[in-house]
Amino acid sequence: MSGGAMPDPFAGHPEWAIEPPRPIVPVPANMGGNLRGRRVLIGLPGHGWRGDLRADEKVVQGSRTYVPVMPEAEWYRAEAERTEVFAPLVPIERVWVEDEGMSGTTAKPNDVAGRLVSLDEPPRRSPVAALDADSLVGRRVVRVGDDGKEERDLRAVTELHSSDDGDICARVTKELDWYRWGWSGKTPSTLEVPLNELWVE
């Protein structure tokens, strides 16, 4: 193998040739649109970013616009149990919404030059095939079916393993159930997803 190219993990397996899911592309929150329940990042250009957050609808105080932002676990708990939670108000210019971009780009974990980003805005996140991920448990994952339909808001609850049928797969659960597991101890229902349908978001 020349030029440091990474091998295609699905080479020789045309039945595995499923298009990867769309990447996550951060968009400034002040671009408009409903923010309630959206996954967001907050931060400052040149300083850094914080994710795993959800937003509520914008709030105007005086001449400034703010976005109520809370940890994702608190968002899910508030929605599931219909309770109020504290949400700090973050200036809208410091909030980016996670949007889904155009498909066709996947991450190359060992390509250092390809991982360099600008500090002017949060970086886009290209999907990584589950086979190439260093670990899965707790990670945000996307299931892509044979029809190309993406199922998001999932978390992996196991690493790759061999199923009873001998297929390589991992078990996933809905994100709400993943967080409920933490606050209530209730074991979530899970689904076994074949390796070729699973991507780390």
Encode pLDDT of 65-80 as tens digits: 999 999 999 999 999 9
Question: Which pLDDT score is estimated for 16?
Answer: 52
Helix (H, G, I), strand (E, B) or coil at 14: helix
For residue 35, the Cα-to-chain-centroid distance in whole angstroms is: 17
Rounded Cα gap, residues 186 and 180, in angstroms: 7
In a domain, 116, yes or no: no
Question: Which pLDDT score is estimated for 141?
Answer: 98
Domain residues for the domain of 193 are 127-201
Helix (H, G, I), strand (E, B) or coil at 30: helix
Question: Which pLDDT score is estimated for 27?
Answer: 96
Q: Which tokens is 172 given?
A: 């996933």
Cα three-residue angle 142-49-105, rounded to 5 degrees: 40
pTM over 0.75: yes
Does 136 lie in the same domain as 89? no
Nearest to 109 by CA among 125, 133, 131, 140: 133
In a domain, 74, yes or no: yes
Tens of pLDDT, residue by residue over 32-43, are: 789 999 999 999
Residue 134: is its pLDDT beyond 60? Answer: yes
In a domain, 168, yes or no: yes
Does 178 lie in the same domain as 134? yes
Question: Which pLDDT score is estimated for 18?
Answer: 74
CB 105 within 8 A of CB 111: no
Percentage of residues of the chain with pLDDT beyond 90: 78
Question: Which pLDDT score is estimated for 43?
Answer: 96
Mean pLDDT (the chain) is 89
Does 92 lie in the same domain as 155? no
Residue 9: is its pLDDT beyond 90? Answer: no
Query: Of all helices (H) and strands (E), which one includes residue 44?
Result: strand 39-44
Question: Which pLDDT score is estimated for 171?
Answer: 98
Helix (H, G, I), strand (E, B) or coil at 77: helix
Question: Which pLDDT score is estimated for 17?
Answer: 55
Nearest to 155 by CA among 135, 141, 143: 141
Q: How many domains does the chain have?
A: 2
Three-class SS string for 125-139? ECCEEHHHCCCCCCC
Tens of pLDDT, residue by residue over 80-133, are: 999 999 999 999 999 999 999 876 555 555 667 777 888 999 999 999 999 999
In a domain, 17, yes or no: no
Does 134 lie in the same domain as 91? no
β strands within 89-178, DSSP E: 89-91, 95-100, 128-129, 140-144, 150-156, 161-162, 168-174
Does 143 lie in the same domain as 179? yes
In a domain, 1, yes or no: no
Helices (H), the chain: 72-81, 112-115, 175-184
**If 0-12 CB within 10 Å is exposed, 13-18 middle and 19+ buried, where does residue 66 land?**
middle
Question: Which pLDDT score is estimated for 13?
Answer: 46
Question: Which pLDDT score is estimated for 32?
Answer: 77
Nearest to 67 by CA among 31, 100, 103: 31
Question: Which pLDDT score is estimated for 105?
Answer: 53
What integer is the mean pLDDT of 179-193?
Answer: 96
Residue 144 belongs to domain with CATH number:
2.30.30
